[in-house]
Amino acid sequence: MSTPERERRPLDVHADLDVTVAGADLRVRADGDLVVVTAPSVRAAFALLRAGRALPLAFESVAGGLDAADVTVLVRARGRTLATLGVGATPGVLSRALGVAPAELDPVAVLSALLLRSRE
C-alpha cells in the first residue's frame, strides 16, 4: 500500500574524522543530527563550501538530502560558525554572491573570524 507522503526516519550520524578537502585539513565531528566541520581558516572553510560544486550530484540535492534526513552541518573556523547546511538553512544574497549557496552564511561570524585573523 502506498501513502501520499512517506515519513522518513531521521538519520543519526556519528563521526570523528580528520580529512583533507581542497588541500585543507578538516576536522569532522558528528553525533546524532549535528555534523560539525572545523576548518583551519576562513579561506579553507570557503574552499570546502565551494568544493561542493564539484560533486557529481548537484550541491543543492545534497543540501536537500540533509534537510530531508533532519541533519544539520555547521562549518566552523576560528571558533565561529560561518555557515549552516541542511535543516533550517536559508541561503541569502551573500551566500549566492560568494558561490556557497545552498549554505547559509552568518555574515557577522565571517567578518568576526576575518578580523580575528588580522589581529593575530
- Amino acid type, 5: E
pLDDT of residue 120: 52
Q: Please tell me the pTM assigned to this model.
A: 0.83
**CB atoms near residue 76 (< 10 Å):** 18
Cell numbers linked to 55: 560533486
pLDDT of residue 8: 53
d(CA 71, CA 12): 8
pLDDT by residue, tens only, the chain of 120 residues: 344 444 555 788 999 999 988 788 999 999 989 999 999 999 999 988 887 665 545 556 777 788 888 999 999 999 999 999 998 899 999 998 988 888 999 999 999 998 876 555
d(CA 105, CA 102): 9
